[in-house]
Amino acid sequence: MGFPRFLIQYPFRILLGILIPPFVVGVLFLLSPRAYQSTLQYTWDMNSVDYEVFRARFYGKANLNMIQSGLQKSGQEEAAQKLKTWTQKQFIQAFPMQVTPSYIDYQNKQNLRLSFERSWAENIEKLENLSAKIITLNITGASPEKCQQLTQMIQANIQNALPLFIARDSLNEQLTALNNGLVTSELEMHQLEKNLLLFQSLKKELANLSPEKMDQEVALHFNEKGAAFLTLPMRRESVAQSLADVEANLQQKQEFWQVELARKAQIQRLLDFIDQSTPESFTVDNYFRFLESQMENAPLELKSFLLAHHYYVENQVQKHTPLVEDFFVEPMAKGTVFMTALTFMVSFSLTLAVCGLVFFIRQFLTRGDGPIPS
């Protein structure tokens, strides 16, 4: 008995084996709830390093806590509890991000815009300087209402939390540079204080010299600033002038030191406010109110610093405003036809394979002994 004849013997069983799996898959997909998606787009001129920094901020644990708090405030307690168990990988998969044009994949050598007229080093430099213009963030929800709420919350998060993260990084960089400057100023003031003691001592010694006991034309050896010899009155005048210069320079350094210390303390207050803010109060508006309260009684130097920082944060907020603030919530395709067709192909192949296996086993068992009963 040939294999085709064997298939004809059991048409009903074979058809059931082929059709039942795709039928079940199709029904399950039809009955499953449809997901909805919205899209936020931002216009930034970012190279690959800036983009990775932005991703690290957005997908970081601190920002995940902000989003979780926003979900709780909007009444989506179930989603907020689910977010507690998420890893960073799950967070990235839930809110995928794309850039346009896409960055160069150096490992796979895709989309390499090379020219044989340039050297390899020039080509690499050109590729590294490529930047993305548009960042697209896709947000998915189980219903139109949940998707809209989630999108509004993510939009507010990007516009409120991320500028404050950037402001904190900027303040930390300024604090590091300020500390380095204070170390340099401390060393300079220490040297000036040594010079001050030296000139004070020299002035005292010169004052103790009696002109009556000395000829006015007696020359004193003075090996400074190109002068080889000076008379006693000229020497006293020179030391007095040098002493006045050192005192003025030291006073200027001490005033600068005090201003820098005040700026350091102000930066620390701003950092403490950001770090101690709860997820509910971690907003740009609250931060601006704190800046305004700090500017009320601040001296002119600190007021200028605070005002410049205020403008910097405002610029970051504007930068993190989406290209189009209004967004559409659209249903996502379930892929019912594709999955049903794929399941049909798999079940068809597996059914034929099983039939072939059964056929050859039967042939092996009935060899020389006549057919076995069916």
Chain centroid to Cα 159, Å, comes to 14
Same domain, 253 and 343: no
Does residue 56 have a pLDDT over 80? yes
Residue 24, SS3 per DSSP: helix
For residue 46, being part of any structural domain is answered with no
pLDDT at 107: 40
Q: pLDDT exceeding 90 applies to what percent of the chain? A: 9
Structural domain of residue 261, as residue ranges? 169-206+219-319
Does residue 272 have a pLDDT over 90? yes
How many DSSP H helices and E strands does the chain contain?
12, 6
Does residue 264 have a pLDDT over 60? yes
Q: pLDDT band at residue 116, thresholds of 50, 70 and 90?
A: low
Looking at the 3D structure of the chain, how many domains does it have? 2
Q: pLDDT band at residue 17, thresholds of 50, 70 and 90?
A: confident
Same domain, 261 and 342: no
Same domain, 232 and 299: yes
Same domain, 343 and 311: no
Per the listing, tokens 């044989």 go with: 116
Does residue 216 have a pLDDT over 70? no
For residue 213, being part of any structural domain is answered with no
Structure confidence by residue, pLDDT tens digits, 316-359: 888 888 877 777 888 877 778 888 888 889 988 888 888 888 87
Does residue 374 have a pLDDT over 60? no
What value does the mean pLDDT take over residues 13-27? 85
Chain mean pLDDT for the chain: 78
pLDDT at 232: 63
CA dihedral over 102, 107, 108, 112, signed as positive or negative: positive
Same domain, 187 and 294: yes
For residue 359, being part of any structural domain is answered with yes
Per mean pLDDT, which of 133-142, 237-246, 294-303, 305-314 is the most reliable?
Answer: 305-314
Same domain, 265 and 185: yes
For residue 52, being part of any structural domain is answered with no
Phi, psi of 64 (to 5 degrees): -60, -40
Q: How far apart are CA 331 and CA 318, in angstroms?
A: 30
**Cis status, amide bond into 101, omega within 30 of 0:** yes
Same domain, 192 and 308: yes
Same domain, 341 and 285: no
Q: How far apart are CA 276 and CA 291, in angstroms?
A: 15
What value does the mean pLDDT take over residues 272-299? 88
Same domain, 179 and 312: yes
pLDDT: which is higher, 148 or 312: 312
For residue 248, being part of any structural domain is answered with yes
pLDDT at 309: 92
pLDDT at 129: 62
Q: How far apart are CA 244 and CA 222, in angstroms?
A: 18
For the ranges 133-137, 160-164, 216-220, 238-242, the lowest mean pLDDT is seen at 216-220
What value does the mean pLDDT take over residues 86-105? 77
Tokens read off for 211: 């002109």
Same domain, 268 and 347: no
Same domain, 305 and 174: yes
Same domain, 280 and 346: no
Q: What angle do CA 48, 54, 59 make, to 5 degrees?
A: 120
For residue 198, being part of any structural domain is answered with yes
Per the listing, tokens 């403008």 go with: 311
Structure confidence by residue, pLDDT tens digits, 126-147: 656 667 778 888 888 878 888 8
pLDDT at 120: 55
For the ranges 8-12, 206-210, 290-294, the lowest mean pLDDT is seen at 206-210
For residue 175, being part of any structural domain is answered with yes
Residue 100: C-alpha distances to residues 5, 91, 96, 103, 109 (Å):
58, 21, 14, 8, 18
Residue 240, SS3 per DSSP: helix
Secondary structure string (H, E, C) spanning 147-192: HHHHHHHHHHHHHHHHHHHHHHHHHHHHHHHHHHHHHHHHHHHHHH
For residue 192, being part of any structural domain is answered with yes
Q: pLDDT band at residue 109, thresholds of 50, 70 and 90?
A: very low
Tokens read off for 22: 């795709």
DSSP, res 322? -
pLDDT: which is higher, 337 or 119: 337
Partner residues linked to 353 by β-bridges? none
Residue type, 91: F
Single out the residue of 154, 166, 119, 164 nearest to residue 37, CA to CA: 154
